[in-house]
Each structure stands twice: as C-alpha cells, then as structure tokens.
Structure 1
C-alpha cells in the first residue's frame, strides 16, 4: 500500500478540468473550480501525500467540451480528476442536481471500492458536495472536512435585502434544500475550513449546528507563477478586443471580473459609473463577465445580468467608455490584471456577498489596488494587505465615494500597489495553506472522529466490552458473513464466543446482521450477548440499513424502497379489519407498519392480502410467529437489502455467507450467495435441502455458522 495520505476532494457542480478552466462561463464556474484544482495539485506535491482524487460530475454533452466526459484526468504526478455519473448526461446548473446526489454518493463509494484503499479524509466543497460527503464519510467512518465557499442562509438574506421575493428565489435557488444540506454537513463534519474569521463568526453562526470549535481559518493560496506584476505588450489579443469598445483605451481601468450572476451586483457599479461624469472622465469601465455567444440562449440568471447591463449602457449613453468583451480565456486573466495596473487603474468587487474573493488577491499579486464589498473575505484581505478600500455594496454612494478616493492620489495608488504585493506573499501562499491544511487533517486522520450524522434520530451509544473502531471496514473487506440474530447468531453463548473469536482474527472477513427487529432493540440484544457492533445492520425486516461504527443510515436504500410506498393508505385501509391491532409506536418505522394478529378473530391473513391487492397497494406482507404481521414496501426485504448491499459495496454474491433459521430468512438464503441453515432451524426450511449453495448444518445456533465457515472454506 502507498505510504502517505489519500485525500478525496469532492466538488460536483460546474465545469472542472486540469487546465483552460472556463471561469465565468456561468454562475457555476467561479473561483471554487480553480481553487479545488489548485488545491489538488498543491497537496499532491507534498511528500506526506500519496494520492489526491478530485471527484466531480461526468458530463457528456455536445454543448460543452468533451474533456468533461473523460472519466479519469491526471493533473499531476499524484493527483487526478475523477468524474462520476450524476443524473442526466447533459450539463446542469447546480440548483437542479439535488435529486441525483444520492446516486453520486453510491458511484463515489464504488470508485473507492475499486481504488482498493480507504481515504484518510474526505473534503467536500459547497453544499451539494457536503450532502454527498457526509453520507460517504459516514458510511466509511472517515473524517469529513468541508468548505462551504458560499452559504445559503447568507445568500438568501442578501437577496431578500435587495428586494427579491421569497417564493421567487426559492423556486430558482432551492434554498430550503440547500440550507438543510448545509445543516447536516455542519453536524457531520469533523472540520470546517473557512477562508476568513468573519465567515466563521458571522456567517456560519447563523446555522443551528454552528460549532466554532470544529472550524479553522486557512486562507486560500495563490499561484504566484501566474499572477505577478509585469509590463504588458501593446499587441495583446485581449487589449485589441477592449479597443473595440473604448474611444480612449489609454485611460485607467475600473476593472471588474466576475461571473454574470445577480449576486455579483455589477448593475449597481454600472449605475454609479453612469451617473458620475467625473468618473467617466477619469477612467474607463471594463467588465469581464465570463464568455457568451447568444444571450437569448443563456439561462435566466446570466441572461438577466447581460440584459440589464446592455440597457444601462444605453440609458446612460456609455458607448466608448464601457468595455464588455464577449470572450476571454483563463490565460488572459493575469494579463488583464497587469494591464489595469500598468494603466494605474483599480480592481473592484461589488458583490453582495463574498465568502473569500480570490480575484482580489489575484489582482493584488499583479500590483493592482482593490476596492471591495465590506463582507466576508474582502474585509480580511484588505486588513492583511492594506491595499484598498471597503464599501457597503447596497449603498451606491458608498461605491461612488470609494471610486473617487481610489483615483485621488498617485502616491496613495503606488502605496496600495506595493502593499498588495507584499501582503499576498506574506498571507496567501500555497505553501503556508498546504502546511496548515495537512497539519489539521493529519490530526483528524489519527483520531478518526466523526460526529453522528443528523439525518434522523440516532440510537443511544452502543455499549460493549470490545474496543470500538471508528472506521467502517466494508470498503476493504474480501468477504462478508451476514446472519439472522434470533435462534441463529444467539442461543448458545459458548458457540457465539468461538464465532466472535474467529471474526476477530480473520481480518478480511466482515460481519453483518439481518433481522426483523428494529435498530434500537437489535443493539440492545447484541449488547446483552456481548456481540461487537457489526459492520452493517439490516433491520426492520430489511427496510433499514445502517453502517457501523456510527450507525449511519443508508438514505439511498430508503429512497429506493419508497417507490409507490403509501403508508397512510395502508393504515387507513386496514384500520377497521377485525383481528388486526397496530403494535406500539416504538415498533412502527417509516417503511414498516406492524400489526398484532388475533388468530381467533382472523384465522388467516389471506383476506388482508387480498384487500391490499385490490386497493392496488405496492407493498408486501410478512406474517411471523403466527401472530405478527409486517407491511413493507414491495422492494423491501432482508434478501433485497442484502443484494443491494452487495451491489453498492462491490461484493460478488459468492463472497457473502448468509445464515438463517426460519422461513423469514428464505429469500435471504436463496440465490447465488453461500448460505447455511443452522441445525435448530424451523421445519419450513426443509424444502431447501436440495438447493445448491445452501448448507444444512448439524450444529445449532452459532455452532452451525462455524461449521459452514469450515465447509465453504470461508
């Protein structure tokens, strides 16, 4: 096995590739895409790191480059981009990806299984990746690190402050879903990495799961091999493009570089410039807002930005004074900063919210003074670099005043320029970023502490004599024993102790249980019999799957079995059936409705089954012990859950040994798995004696399982 850390970065939305990043193409191709690619490269270059996988969405769409359909793209000696399927093949904006993220999580698990190594840490970027990360990290029991980049609660409040209607922005941005995902991620992450202290103290503090003890500020690094001060040639292609717009191209630039989204607040900047003859006389306004071909074919948000921009240019008759080129490449961005600095201009970021502001340190590294919104990252950048001014992005007069001050003094301009160069070198180097990052995650990897996932109510902590492990071994095990509990696993304490000793010493052999009991009772029974927490628990007759050591629920399984599941209709239809009584609330689950049957009143459950079929209900019934009736979704059973488990975690069915004792286990025992029926089995299983790959043991309870392990050479 490779020595060193294996780090998995998740950044799902947008367009991510190793070079020629399409920054500003749309709302989803901002600074985050550059940051995660650079982070992957810089981490991989460190001697303590063995491998970095940057996992993103595979996109096979003729409207975008074929690069994004490449499953694996090496980007450094020990770093690669891994692209996984997630919903339709076409390029989608991030707000419509939510329904497909559970599939992405399963695909990530499959990739990790194929890689053959457990990650030391999973680092998610933005809310959608956090949703995936807290599930996969929870399943595996590895630490989750998260970087929000921008936060839903903050963005929503800013839009409301601007006058947006709640129902309109909810429909467009799905804030309810996003904020809930952020809450779950904050509850699950071992470490939150923020860019600024303001982000920790003022933005994350808006969340219910705010915990500053699990938050750390590590400012992003900057590639100083790309961004540096230098003279610019007069025949640059981008300069020729700007000259198409400007009557006096030699004037200083008020330079704004951003994505074409309303949050960037570019319209407010244009209004200030358009109503200020002195600014128009002093400088040109240069707006580089991504790339566009035909705005009528753009999505609503960027189309709105450009439509308003063109309208404002016309309203204030700014032709010849404002440049807004249609295209630019990422390689031209450093030259744009240097050109603006050469003409003694200023860079401005008027965004409503700015978690960090990577463009601000890029501009600073090229010697260009900066003006920025008094929010998030800009406050700390200007505090560290002393190379510009802050303003209230909601106050046009504040923007105007800052612009006037920026051009008030050549001496001040030069001082700001020099300060920016020094400040970037001191505070925003990749070397310091990576060192702080690796120190933090190395400590997490050693502790392997993962908070409980707040997806649903968790049971009480599992009490047992054995020392718990924090990692889920399912990713690296070669084979798996899955046993029913009652009258199979338990019943003979000495035999059980011998079986547990075998499991303890055969490290390649995993252990799971499949039972009709619900999770809390299952844990109580296992604890009473001294059974260590299994790697996987299939409970409630196969309607729930949880993974140790943190008992993380498999939400993908829950969604899968929810197909056409109508629990309230089932309860309503069976409410007046004589002889059926709902069991206590503790026995009811979201995907299991449990009844007690009075066989004197209802000697056969056939009428119940017919009634459910006649009502076209998509469910199955399990009658046991001649008195209990469970109604489940049609897709739910212990056997189906077992096969789903094998598929999800990459186990051939022949690598599973299944143990049972009663008719309730029949579906689990049949098929391509290896199976054992213990010696104390119920008579209804005798019909399986001639079925291949089902071994009928002579030993009872756990002794029968031991007998089967030897029989199969398992």
Structure 2
C-alpha cells in the first residue's frame, strides 16, 4: 500500500485525490462509506472527462477502490483502506496533502468518537490479539473458514516433528474416552503410546484370522485381553479398518488419514443445541418472523444429528452396550404461549427416538414480562440465571455432562459460553445473523439506540462468545470476511468503538482455525423438485394452486387478470431489511415486467394492525401505497399468512409448474434459507448480491445476483433471462436443473452433520493438547462478562421491573 500511496503523491493524480476530498466535503457530511466514496469518484471522473481506465486502473482509482471509509476533519482526512480481505489499514492525510501516513487503529477510534462528540481521553481498550498470537493461524485469506483442514495438516506436521510426544498425547486422548462410566477403546492393559502402537499390530494380526463379517461381540473378550474396549467397530472388518487407520496415522501421519480416523472415534453421544428467544415449537408455530429460520434450522439439525449419532454408535458396536444418542434443544419455557406448546417443559422432537425440546423458564423478577415472549433485543437480563437453571436440568436429563454445546444466535451463544465454561464442554457457536453489521453505525450511535435495541449488551455478548467458542460454524465465507467490496459480519467486530464504553482495537482473529464453513441443508422430504411428480400429493397441489392464484380470503389481496403469465414469487417476513417494498416498486416501475409476469408475495401478515412493531406496520403500508401508486391491481397477489412447511414446499413447485422464478431482494441476507428451498424446488432464483446468496448461487456468469438498490438493473436482469427462456424454452429447464442439483450436492444435512461432528472431535482433541491459552482467554472473557456485560444487562432489568408485559 505504501507504493500505491506514493505513486499517487508522485504524479498528477494527487489533484484527483484533492478534488475527490473537496467534492465529499461539499455534501456537509463528515463520514463516508464505500458506496458514497465510489459514486463521488465516478461523478468526478465523468465531470473531468477522465479516460475510461482512470476509474479502475489509475493509481488513485485503485486507492479509492480499496477505500471503505473516509472521515473528514479540519486538519486531516482519514482513510480506512482494505488492500486485502481481512486486513484493514488506517491512513491519515493532512489537509495540505503533504503527508499520508499509516496510523495505529486506536487513532481511528479516537477520531470516530470525536466525530459524534463523544471523545474521552481514557477509555477501556479491548484487545484479543495476545490470546491468538502464539496459536497456529491460517496465513492465506482464501483459506479462512477452513479451520478443520488447517488443523488436520498442523497436527500431522506435529506428529512428524516429535512423533513420540504426539503419540503419547494421542494415547492419552483415546485413553480418557468413556460414557456413563463405561470405558471405550482402551483399557489399562495398554499403559502408554508405545504400547498402543505395539498392541495395534497384534490386534491387526488377530483380526486377519477372523471372518470380515464376524460380529464384534464374538471376539470381544479376546480383544479386551489385548487392551481394547468396545468402540472400534461392530464387525471384524470394521474394527480392522479403524485400527489400520490408527496404525497408518502413527506410522505416516497425513491429514486425510487423521480425518478418517477421528470421524470413527466414538466421542460424541450427548449434544445440546441452544436456541432461546424464539418460539421453539413444532405444531403450527415455528418461531416468530424474526426467529423462524433459526427454529427450523435447529429442529432439522437436531433430527440430522440424532440420526447420524445412531449410525456412528451402531457402526462402532456400541449399541450392544445400550448406548444411545441424546440430543436436547434447550430453549425457554413461555407460560403465556398463545396456543403453542411452548409452555411444555419437555417435548419430543418429531421423527426422532431420543431428541427433545427442553424448556427452562426465566426467573420471574417481573412475571408480567417473563411469562410472555420477549424480543431478542430485550432478553439479556435473564441469560445468566437461565444458564444456571439449565445446567441443573441438563445434568438431570442427560444423567451426565453433554459432549458438545452448540449456541445459536447472540443470546444462545452467550449461554453456550456460560454452560461450557462451567461444565468443561466443547463449545460451538452459530451466529445465523449478527446485528452489528445490519444496523448502520449502530456501534457509533449506540447510546441513541440503547433504549430500543440494547446494543451495548448484545455487542459485548458477541465479543465474549465468539472469542470463547472452541469453533464457529458459518454458512458462507462472506459471513466471516465478506468480499473485496464488503466487510464480513465477523470482520465488523475486528475494530470498532462504543463511545464512552470501550474501544475494540482487535476484537477477533479472522485467521483463526476456529472458523469453519459448514452450510446447512434443506428438508428434502418437504422441499424437492417440481419435476418429481410421483412424490407430489395431487389434492395438496390443487389446494395450494387455488390458494396462490384464485382463492378469495381476508388474508389475500389482489386478483390476477391473467393468471397464465409467468409468476415471480417471493417469500419473506415484511421487514425493511427483507425489502419486499423494493421488489414491489421494481415490478411497478417496469412495464415490461408487468407485461410478462405476475408478482406473488407470501408474507406472514397483510394488515398493519397485525404488526408487532412500528417498522413492520410501516413496511406493510408501503406495499399498499406502491400497489396503488403503480396501479398493480390485476398483476399482483399478496398472501399474508404463514403456510405449513408442506404447503410451502408445494407452493414453490407450483411456481415451477408454471415456469416461474423466485426473487430474494433483501438489502442484506446473511445466508437465506428460502433461497435453498426455492432452488432445490427447481426455481431459477435471483438473489441479493449482499450476503451469503453470492456463494449459494455461485453467481453463474453474474446473471442471478441482484443489487436491491438498482431497480432498473434488477428488472433488466430478470427480463434478459425471460427473453432467453422465450427464445430457447430449454433454457428455463437447464437453469432449473442446475440450481436444484447445486443445492442437493452442496447444501444437505448429511454433509453438515458429518462435518459438525468431525469438528467437535478435532477441537476437543485440540483443547486437550493445547489448553493453556484457552484458559487465559476464557478468564479474559469472564472479566468482560462481569465488568461490562452484567452492568448493561442489569440496566435493562431495571426497565423491565417497571414494565407491563412485553409479549406483543
């Protein structure tokens, strides 16, 4: 970057930089983000009649394209430049343009505080860098999110470097495995790593004389004499394969061998999935709008985990000992549950043998609050006591400690931290969506937003849990570090200020192997291609078809003048971030789209009086206004109802029958469950370029990623696709098949669960062999919890004690 900056200063391009800063200053603003900076520079290039290359390829053009933030002061201009993903730099340019120097991150945080008139000279600095400094780290940004592969390589290299030491550690890790007091894998006849290596060879010789299909129980006693307990396999062939992997790992360690061996180690039997603030129910209500995707995710993950653990236990030969998997979804019990089963303490998860929803009530404090549903922004005062109460109930239900705790969302992740810390259990975090990057300048103006959102508690909770977690699952690469053009969700926690509260100078190590991309799947019993006619219910098909296109209902607005037009389908909650108003306006502004298509919107609400907050009511009214403004009556159907999952699956397929398309027009989408559902159903799917959809669709020649702020460009992309379909009818089918196969091959629960359990085992071993820094890190997190988080949560509790119920 020094060279690039110097080339600007040593050329006539310095004038262009001066003119850009002047143009920004005339707006009256002082803080600018990337889009504004690029637009201003583009306007300058056009007005100055610069050649076409200048915007992208000149030195100043490159500098501006790397710039993500600019702050204007009287004496200086501050640049946040990101020459590489996950590597921001802070530069200060003096007003006379004579000096452009690299600054420490703290200087930017001070400037940001001054910008909002909240600067103070002495403020708490949070710096996590020392806790990652001595740990092995990924060095190539392209490999961020592939921590498992990195650790496999690293551990194998250590085995080669000091084989005796690491053989002993491997032995100790295997020797400590047990379940309910039953020893697994090894007994005291094998006292060391060297003896383990010898006994493996003897065991393999013993097995070579057995029939491959001979059940393990037939030679169990002989095997115990050799020092081996149950868990190696259910047949002679399976046991032999597992021991051969161990022998190869000892003799010639390789990442693929380590991964294959660890996958077979029976180390996970009891799993806790924490999802607190939503309606975690199965009948009719699967969470509220703000938690629907998370609840579906957790329920499907629980089913998949229990099924996979059953398979692992059987293949390990442990079902003969009566060992069964036990999966618990931990959530809150809601006494005023509005007709759901959320007031049941224990509920079995459908289609499982031993997966349960365990509901623990919040301590009462003010029953008018705690007996009702509580928004995710208000939940913070109750989490510590909830964790203590949940620990007792979990130990009772499991009759022992769990092997893995998985948090979901910010509140569940904080409880996962508290529980895993107390119970000494491996902790996994799944954010789903981090609020900080969704609300622009939410950290800078947190005091103004505190009464409504309580971001001081939430962002502190995020910092604590993401750093305390043993490993973090994300659905996409961009969730961690974004793209060259955008900042990742986790990356937004790297450097930020909470004026008058603290400065974060290094909030998370993005190169840590704890980050792992493990995208979720989709329920293929419900969501499957429209072309699988044999699996579709004709009566359901007729019923849902009538609902989408013809039925009159108080919760349906609009009659289609020509139902045979190609349908554009969208499914989303009616919130500003999901941007259905933008899609409706895009449709309204394009006469060509209206001539080709009908627009069908499926939301959970249709009327403003059904809204649970002012923002939602405003979005509902906006859709009505757009329909009237653009006279869309006759071209639009708006269904304001929550469809059961099987009906929703059929709805996607009916759109497919009519050769329709799906559009996901969110301003930002961390991942996008409905995108998976639409694509696997066979719908050509257009989705926002801001977020995880980039990776789901994989861009396919840039034809299906939309900029939701560019309505004309969106309409053109859709029309270009429809023109190709009209010219070449097979184009729709080819796109449909490609998208369906993309989801089936890449986004399925079997892949997800295999990877998740492998991560749990590898990181459990990692913590066993390198525990020292984790303990120091966790002590630091406890300090943040007690000195920052708890006082913030107590302020929220004070407000709640004076409130009447917050249930609606």
Query: Is TM-score (shorter-chain normalized) higher than 0.5?
Result: yes
Displacement of 1:329 in angstroms is 2.5
Displacement of 1:343 in angstroms is 1.0
Aligned pairs (5 A) from 1:342-491: 342-383=657-698, 389-410=704-725, 411-448=730-767, 451-452=774-775, 457=780
| Structure 2 counterpart of 1:206 | 492
Displacement of 1:289 in angstroms is 1.2
Aligned match for 1:93, one of 375, 392, 396: 375
CA distance change for structure 1 residues 99 and 415 in 2, over 3 Å: closer, same or farther?
A: same
Inter-partner Cα distance in structure 2 for 1:166 and 1:303: 24
> 3-state DSSP class of the match of 1:325?
strand
| Structure 1 counterpart of 2:542 | 235
| Structure 1 counterpart of 2:407 | 124
CA contact (8 A) 1:149 1:355 kept: yes
| Structure 1 counterpart of 2:594 | 280
> 3-state DSSP class of the match of 1:73?
strand
| Structure 1 counterpart of 2:649 | 334
Is residue 254 from structure 1 mapped to residue 516 from structure 2 by the alignment? no
Aligned match for 1:311, one of 625, 637, 650: 625
Inter-partner Cα distance in structure 1 for 2:449 and 2:599: 30
Displacement of 1:174 in angstroms is 2.9
CA distance change for structure 1 residues 376 and 561 in 2, over 3 Å: closer, same or farther?
A: closer
Range 142-151 or range 208-217, more displaced: 208-217
Inter-partner Cα distance in structure 2 for 1:432 and 1:170: 40
CA contact (8 A) 2:417 2:468 kept: yes
Aligned pairs (5 A) from 1:146-225: 146-157=429-440, 170-202=450-482, 203=488, 204-207=490-493, 208-212=507-511, 213-225=513-525
Displacement of 1:178 in angstroms is 1.8
Inter-partner Cα distance in structure 2 for 1:252 and 1:401: 16
CA contact (8 A) 1:145 1:190 kept: yes
CA contact (8 A) 2:293 2:673 kept: yes
| Structure 2 counterpart of 1:513 | none
Inter-partner Cα distance in structure 1 for 2:791 and 2:327: 31
* 1:439-487 deviation digits (Å, cap 9, x = unpaired): 11122234446734868748xxxxxxxxxxxxxxxxxxxxxxxxxxxxx
CA contact (8 A) 1:60 1:66 kept: no
CA distance change for structure 1 residues 388 and 83 in 2, over 3 Å: closer, same or farther?
A: farther
CA contact (8 A) 1:54 1:82 kept: yes
Displacement of 1:375 in angstroms is 2.3
| Structure 2 counterpart of 1:141 | 424
* 1:98-140 deviation digits (Å, cap 9, x = unpaired): 1222222122112123233111111101111112111111122
Displacement of 1:321 in angstroms is 1.4
* 1:144-176 deviation digits (Å, cap 9, x = unpaired): 10011111222123999xxx9877755433333
Displacement of 1:198 in angstroms is 1.4
Aligned match for 2:278, one of 2, 11, 14: 14
CA distance change for structure 1 residues 165 and 408 in 2, over 3 Å: closer, same or farther?
A: farther
> 3-state DSSP class of the match of 2:359?
strand
The root-mean-square deviation of aligned C-alpha atoms, in Å, is 3.2
| Structure 1 counterpart of 2:638 | 324
Inter-partner Cα distance in structure 2 for 1:282 and 1:149: 36
CA distance change for structure 1 residues 215 and 562 in 2, over 3 Å: closer, same or farther?
A: closer
CA contact (8 A) 1:385 1:424 kept: no
Inter-partner Cα distance in structure 2 for 1:52 and 1:126: 19
* 1:631-680 deviation digits (Å, cap 9, x = unpaired): xxxxxxxxxxxxxxxxxxxxxxxxxxxxxxxxxxxxxxxxxxxxxxxxxx
CA distance change for structure 1 residues 386 and 84 in 2, over 3 Å: closer, same or farther?
A: farther
| Structure 1 counterpart of 2:346 | 72
CA contact (8 A) 2:472 2:516 kept: yes
CA distance change for structure 1 residues 269 and 427 in 2, over 3 Å: closer, same or farther?
A: same
* 1:487-522 deviation digits (Å, cap 9, x = unpaired): xxxxxxxxxxxxxxxxxxxxxxxxxxxxxxxxxxxx
Displacement of 1:292 in angstroms is 5.6
> Which entry has the higher C-alpha Rg, 1 or 2?
1
Inter-partner Cα distance in structure 2 for 1:68 and 1:117: 25
* 1:203-233 deviation digits (Å, cap 9, x = unpaired): 2122221333210001111211111123575
Q: TM-score, normalised by structure 2?
A: 0.54
Inter-partner Cα distance in structure 2 for 1:185 and 1:191: 10
Q: Structure 1: which 5+ residue stretches go unaligned? A: 459-545, 564-714
Inter-partner Cα distance in structure 1 for 2:438 and 2:450: 11
CA contact (8 A) 1:84 1:104 kept: yes
Displacement of 1:395 in angstroms is 2.3
| Structure 2 counterpart of 1:599 | none
| Structure 2 counterpart of 1:495 | none
Aligned residues: 466
| Structure 2 counterpart of 1:641 | none
CA contact (8 A) 1:255 1:346 kept: yes
Displacement of 1:201 in angstroms is 2.0
* 1:599-636 deviation digits (Å, cap 9, x = unpaired): xxxxxxxxxxxxxxxxxxxxxxxxxxxxxxxxxxxxxx
CA contact (8 A) 1:196 1:377 kept: yes
CA contact (8 A) 1:186 1:210 kept: no
Aligned match for 1:112, one of 364, 374, 394: 394
Aligned match for 2:334, one of 47, 51, 59: 59
Range 359-368 or range 199-208, more displaced: 199-208
Inter-partner Cα distance in structure 1 for 2:777 and 2:420: 13
| Structure 2 counterpart of 1:35 | 297
| Structure 2 counterpart of 1:664 | none
CA distance change for structure 1 residues 120 and 285 in 2, over 3 Å: closer, same or farther?
A: same
| Structure 1 counterpart of 2:359 | 83
CA contact (8 A) 1:56 1:82 kept: yes
CA contact (8 A) 2:585 2:626 kept: yes
* 1:184-216 deviation digits (Å, cap 9, x = unpaired): 111100101000111122221222213332100
Q: Structure 2: which 5+ residue stretches go unaligned? A: 1-178, 181-265, 314-324, 365-369, 483-487, 494-506, 553-557, 796-808
Bigger fraction of residues in helix:
2
Displacement of 1:60 in angstroms is 1.9
CA distance change for structure 1 residues 175 and 405 in 2, over 3 Å: closer, same or farther?
A: farther
* 1:1-54 deviation digits (Å, cap 9, x = unpaired): 56842111101122112354446x42x233111111000010011123711111
* 1:230-259 deviation digits (Å, cap 9, x = unpaired): 357563146335424222222221111111
Inter-partner Cα distance in structure 1 for 2:293 and 2:327: 20
CA distance change for structure 1 residues 553 and 426 in 2, over 3 Å: closer, same or farther?
A: closer
Inter-partner Cα distance in structure 1 for 2:788 and 2:442: 33
> 3-state DSSP class of the match of 1:288?
strand
Q: TM-score, normalised by structure 1?
A: 0.60
> 3-state DSSP class of the match of 1:319?
coil
Displacement of 1:381 in angstroms is 0.9
* 1:72-102 deviation digits (Å, cap 9, x = unpaired): 1111212111111126111122111112222
Displacement of 1:433 in angstroms is 1.1
